Amino acid sequence: MPVSKLFIIGNLTVPSSWIALLLGFLISYVAIRALFGKSDSDRVADAFFWHVLVWKLSVLLTDFSSVLANPLSIIYFHGGTIGFFLGLAVAFMKLLWDYRKGLFGMSMLVTAWIMAQTVFQIAMAVLNPGDAFGRWTTVVIFTLFFVIYWLKRTTLSAGQWLLLSAAVHLFGAAFQPEGVVNIAFIVTVVVCLALGILFRTIPRSEEIA
Amino acid sequence: MNKKTLGSIVAILVIGAMVVMMVKSKLDKPEAIVLSAADQKLLEEMDSLPGLKQGEIPPDFELTTLSGEMVRLSDMKGKKVVLNFWGSWCPPCKAEMPHMQNYYKKNAKKDNVEILAVNLTTGETKGIPAVEQFVDAYGLTFPIPLDESGDLAQQYQVMIIPTTYFIGTDGVIAHRYVGAMDEKMLKNLVKGMK
């Protein structure tokens, strides 16, 4: 869903997408905490923290001359889309490292991802005024997927859920005003591919739950 | 669920997506963001500060700029107006000025944008010389109307600076942005208005 709402909180202007990202993270954190325990949910919090930190500091890379001219730019600005994906990459690297050490399982990552993805989509649809059709279909499709995942979590493998999450997003995006070519869908594709590759390079366990 | 069932479900979703996109492309007309009464109420509740709201017609004004010209908002009808409020003492205003200037030089003409950076002169303790010094230091080329009485800031309910109103070609407020904007943000906000 395109951002059509800016929230003015104190002396900051916060785009709806940031609220949606925060909600996605929060629900993801709570879900992992409930299902897998504190140590796993701490990894989720860690990943989110690193993502946001790198995204913010990436302004040094995307606009070094502005930061040089005015160091306060680090506080006021961020690295944009490039910074967002850089943050995602760094968070993923950290997770990869810990996963290799066997500190958590595939299903934890997949659960965290699907929680974040579905809640983000639903939040974006709720928060942004505009195309009613796109908003309603998004809420229905992703809420259904959210519920189905909770009920049937153990019936599919992690990799199968990843594939489904990408297909569901493709389907949902078709109804949205921006269509399929938007950053959220690109993120879904990137994350599903990255996690999929990650799962294939580590010797497969039969772990499902 | 076995592999075959999953495969069928994925296939259905993918084909479904393509069908929906095809139907949409035949039916779609570009849609303006129309706010329903419920949406309007939600928007109003979520904004923590007073300020002129999206969809309102902003008050017209006439001010003298730093270079001595008269500028009137209604003269700008048909152009997209970026109405920025700033002061030379304010750090985020300093941070965003180079970005605004870059945007102005590179894109303003082709995007049909005029930038009016209203200086809150009542807050300038060193007066107009400080404003001139600032404008020279940053090499700003867009008009700098001077709000010497403080009335305009009050009319536009500017409590925190920088505050920027984006006024569309239809003369209506498209967005209000509080805080420093970089070039990317500015470009996106301009793109997102009529």
- pLDDT for position B3: 79
Cα–Cα distances in Å, from B122 out to A129, B118, B131, B146, B152? Answer: 37, 12, 11, 9, 11
Per-residue pLDDT band at A18 (split at 50, 70, 90):
very high
Q: With CA atoms as reference, report the closest residue to B53 among B186, B181, B179, B167.
A: B167
Check CB contact under 8 Å for A170 and B94.
no
- pLDDT for position B24: 87
pLDDT at A164 over 50: yes
Per-residue pLDDT band at A130 (split at 50, 70, 90):
confident
Tokens of A66: 């502005």
Residue showing tokens 């929906």: B20
- pLDDT for position B63: 95
Query: What does the pLDDT look like over B129-138, one tens digit per residue?
Result: 999 999 999 9
Using the Cβ of B175 and the Cβ atoms of chain A, whether some distance falls under 8 Å is answered with yes
What single DSSP character describes residue B34? P
Residue showing tokens 């959220």: A184
Q: pTM, whole model, 2 decimals?
A: 0.86
Query: What does the pLDDT look like over B24-43, one tens digit per residue?
Result: 888 766 555 555 555 555 55
- pLDDT for position B194: 79
Cα–Cα distances in Å, from B22 out to A175, B17, B31, B101? Answer: 11, 9, 18, 42
Which residue of chain A has the CA closest to B18? A174
Dist CA A100 CA A108 (whole Å)? 14
Query: What does the pLDDT look like over A52-93, one tens digit per residue?
Result: 999 999 999 999 999 998 999 999 999 999 999 999 999 999
**Minimum-distance CB partner of B46 among A7, A164, A167:** A7
Check CB contact under 8 Å for B36 and A11.
no
Per-residue pLDDT band at A209 (split at 50, 70, 90):
very low
A84 min Cα distance to partner chain B (Å): 14
Q: Give the mutation candidate from A16, A66, A68, A149 for the B interface (greatest B CB count, under 10 A).
A: A66
Q: Average pLDDT of B7-12?
A: 93
- pLDDT for position A10: 82
Q: Give the mutation candidate from A62, A64, A65, A73 for the B interface (greatest B CB count, under 10 A).
A: A73
By the 8 A CB rule, do A69 and B98 touch?
Answer: yes
Q: Average pLDDT of A162-168?
A: 95
Q: Is B173 exposed, middle or buried (0-12, 13-18, 19+ CB in 10 A)?
A: buried
* Cα distance from N-terminal residue to C-terminal residue, chain A: 32
**Cβ neighbours of A54 (radius 10 Å):** 21
For chain B, positions 64-123, list CB contacts with chain A under 8 A. 91-92, 94-96, 98-99
Query: What does the pLDDT look like over B62-116, one tens digit per residue?
Result: 999 999 999 999 999 899 999 999 999 999 999 999 999 999 999 999 999 999 9
Q: Average pLDDT of A138-165?
A: 94
Check CB contact under 8 Å for A180 and B192.
no
Per CB distance under 8 Å, which residues of A are interface residues toward B? Answer: 4-13, 63, 66, 69-70, 72-73, 76-77, 80, 129-132, 152, 155-156, 160, 163-164, 167-168, 170-171, 173-175, 177, 179-180
Q: Which helix (H) or strand (E) holds A205?
A: none
Dist CA A54 CA A73 (whole Å)? 15
Which of chain A's residues have a Cβ under 8 Å away from the Cβ of B14? 167, 170-171
Query: What does the pLDDT look like over B148-180, one tens digit per residue?
Result: 999 999 999 998 999 999 999 999 999 899 999
Using the Cβ of B50 and the Cβ atoms of chain A, whether some distance falls under 8 Å is answered with no
Q: What region does B143 belong to: left with phi over 0, alpha with psi -120 to 50, or beta?
A: beta
Q: B72 - beta bridge partners?
A: B62
Q: Which helix (H) or strand (E) holds B63?
A: strand B62-64
Using the Cβ of B38 and the Cβ atoms of chain A, whether some distance falls under 8 Å is answered with no
